Amino acid sequence: MKPLFKILCAMAVLPIASCSDDETSKGCGEGNGQTSLCDARGPKRNPFLASDLYSITHFNSAQTDAFPYAVADGTFRVSPEDQEGGWSGPVNLMTLAAAVDGYMWGMSSDRVSYYKTKDGGFTKLGEAGLPGSTVKTKEQLQILSGKYDSVADLYNAIVPFLGKNPMYAISSGNYVLCDKDNYAYTNVGTTIARYKLSDAAHPEKGIELDRQLDIKTHVEGATLLVGVVMTYDGHLVVAYNRGIVIVDRGLSKVVGSYALPPDQILTNSIAVDEAGGIYLASNNRTENGQGLMQKIVWKDGRLTTDAADGAWQSPYDGGPNPPSIKMGYGTGSTPTLMGFGEDEDKLVVITDGGKRMKIVAFWRDAIPADARETVAGNPRIADVRELTCGLPASTEWIQSEQSVVCAGYGAFVVNNILSGGSTTGDKVVDVLAIGPLIETPRGAERLEWDTKENRWQTVWTRGDVSSPSMIPAVSTRSEMVFVNGYSKADGWEVTGLDWHTGATRHRVIFGDTSRGNGTYAIIQYLENGDLLFNSVSGPYRVKLKR
């Protein structure tokens, strides 16, 4: 297998109604009789990131995909073409919070941009291409979001500017971050690149490539970077296909490295904690081989795999080669940390590589005295549970390329694979064709970790929910989890599901245009409740309050 990076119901649906001026979002457990998400603890703020929210992919160092802003209930029909935004792509994984209030960095597979977001706006102030990459034109990006009569027509339209293997176009600009000094870091090939404002006092003067470091000159076997995160003492952890390296923020040198076992490959990003723990879940290079979940520790200026320092390894189940959307034989998840501060249980959570995936929780630190051995001979696994996502027992594929969304002890997972395994042979063509040209996969499941029994419990499932490729996110204030999916009736939309019941509470309907397709990106809402949508052809801001 080539080391490609992931490029980067039982419940009734509420009737659709227009959003009125006096509608507000329910929030913080109001009327549902359940524990409020507003009381849930989150990870400690990383002082070297630009912000405690949105300055790193998956929103924070624990990779929880949780944000605290309120989002209005109701249905909103919008035209993507009428929204203020920019053009970039074909993957715009995340728009990062800058270190300066009222500004954000746009991170994509072909460029880095800088946006002014003050006063409800979303104005691009400047952009710069990735090293060695070709910046796509607006006309080319409009082709990505066009309408096609067949998969062949779609493929033939995008090959002239994405190449015969379009999936290779999305291997850059993925797991990214902005630091406290307003430098933005991204990946391209085997190079980590840093961008800055040309004039910090005058952001309207644009941005520029500041520094870059080619990892392959420092470690053997590096053919592709997976992404970058930040330790709590201000070092970059750069993940590549064969391991991780520790780099200073100035990109002057590699100060530590760790290579995976020969049978493992890394295709997703990593999580870190405030005590130096680095969590990575690698896939086996062989079909149905076991993957490896690890905690490696950055301590006293060195990486250690010593158990005495808190490090550990645990195998988990791999699976067959997925037909579409998902990459590799193992997990599609970036590890997500669950349990913080005085919380009873500290866990790290992924989905495994099984054809019908399982959610797996590992004890993050010392294994507690009341731990159950759910997998014989492996006490590190706290619990494992097969997921149904509300689909029949006969469903062939239930698998995800997204990380597990976590808030408090709640978790949310989606199915990205169509039963029957329909595929075009290329992940980018897949992600553009699924929905308009190929039936969309469906299914979602919400679970809760039981701290008394040390086991997963399913709260609800929705077998009708479409979420083919975009990373879901949860509002802890409004207690809604959001997905991006497609229906024949309404086209592309962002759908908000009640965290406690699974009922549909929020819809932003884009219509039959792939400018409403998030293509491996993450769903974001801003402080005032506006949707910041990272579409296949560039981010734009949707004003939802009237």
- Residue 421 covered by a domain: yes
Tell me, what's the pLDDT at 427? 85
User: What is the rounded distance in angstroms from the CA atom of residue 292 to the CA atom of residue 409?
Assistant: 23
- Residue 6 covered by a domain: no
Q: How many domains, the chain?
A: 1
Domain hosting residue 420, numbered range: 37-542
Tell me the residue type at 210.
D
- Residue 145 covered by a domain: yes
Buried b (16+ CB within 10 A) or exposed e, 108-133: bbbbbbbbbbeeeebbbbbbbebeee
User: What is the rounded distance in angstroms from the CA atom of residue 53 to the CA atom of residue 55?
Assistant: 6
Residue found under tokens 């992931």: 6
Do the Cβ atoms of 9 and 466 come closer than 8 Å? Answer: no
Do the Cβ atoms of 381 and 375 come closer than 8 Å? Answer: yes
Tell me the residue type at 538.
G
Evaluate the CA torsion angle 361, 294, 373, 359 in order and state its sign.
positive
Q: Within 13 Å of residue 178, how many CA atoms lie on the same side as its CB?
A: 27
- Residue 332 covered by a domain: yes
- Residue 21 covered by a domain: no
Do the Cβ atoms of 534 and 94 come closer than 8 Å? Answer: yes
Distances 169 to 23, 133, 162, 425, 457 between C-alpha atoms, Å: 42, 9, 6, 15, 39
Distances 289 to 14, 356, 384 between C-alpha atoms, Å: 43, 15, 18
Do the Cβ atoms of 238 and 228 come closer than 8 Å? Answer: yes
Q: Say what the pTM is.
A: 0.93
Do the Cβ atoms of 208 and 129 come closer than 8 Å? Answer: no
- Residue 83 covered by a domain: yes
Do the Cβ atoms of 492 and 510 come closer than 8 Å? Answer: yes
User: What is the rounded distance in angstroms from the CA atom of residue 350 to the CA atom of residue 373?
Assistant: 18
H helical segments located in 55-176: 138-144, 151-162
Segment 435-467, tens digit of pLDDT: 999 999 999 999 999 999 999 999 999 999 999
Residue found under tokens 């996502």: 389
Tell me, what's the pLDDT at 20? 33
Distances 60 to 195, 231, 273, 454 between C-alpha atoms, Å: 20, 12, 10, 25
Which phi and psi angles does 386 have, rounded to 5°?
-70, 140
Residues in the chain predicted with pLDDT less than 70, given as ranges, are: 1-35, 420-422, 546
Strand partners, 534: 539
User: What is the rounded distance in angstroms from the CA atom of residue 156 to the CA atom of residue 306?
Assistant: 52
Buried b (16+ CB within 10 A) or exposed e, 26-54: bbebeeeeeebbeebebbbebebbbbbbb
CA nearest 124: which of 178, 91, 86?
86
Tell me, what's the pLDDT at 2? 34
Residue found under tokens 């009789």: 33
- 3-state percent helix, strand, coil for the chain, nearest multiple of 5: 10, 35, 55
User: What is the rounded distance in angstroms from the CA atom of residue 482 to the CA atom of residue 407?
Assistant: 13
Residue found under tokens 């053997």: 220
Tell me, what's the pLDDT at 79? 96
- Residue 9 covered by a domain: no
User: What is the rounded distance in angstroms from the CA atom of residue 297 to the CA atom of residue 306?
Assistant: 8
Name every residue whose Cβ is closer than 8 Å to that of residue 268 and which is 6 or more positions away in sequence. 6, 8, 226, 281, 331, 332, 333, 334, 335, 403
Start-to-end CA distance of the chain, whole Å, equals 50
User: What is the rounded distance in angstroms from the CA atom of residue 135 to the CA atom of residue 110?
Assistant: 5
Residue found under tokens 């919008």: 78
Segment 234-246, tens digit of pLDDT: 999 999 999 999 9
Tell me, what's the pLDDT at 23? 40
User: What is the rounded distance in angstroms from the CA atom of residue 222 to the CA atom of residue 85?
Assistant: 35
User: What is the rounded distance in angstroms from the CA atom of residue 209 to the CA atom of residue 322?
Assistant: 37
Instruction: Give the number of other Cβ atoms within 10 Å of residue 175's Cβ.
Output: 28
Do the Cβ atoms of 484 and 493 come closer than 8 Å? Answer: yes
Token couple for 290: 């076991």
CATH number at residue 533: 2.130.10.10
- Residue 140 covered by a domain: yes
Query: CA dihedral defined by 352, 358, 363, 364, rounded to 10 degrees?
Result: 40
Strand partners, 414: 444
Tell me the residue type at 402.
Q
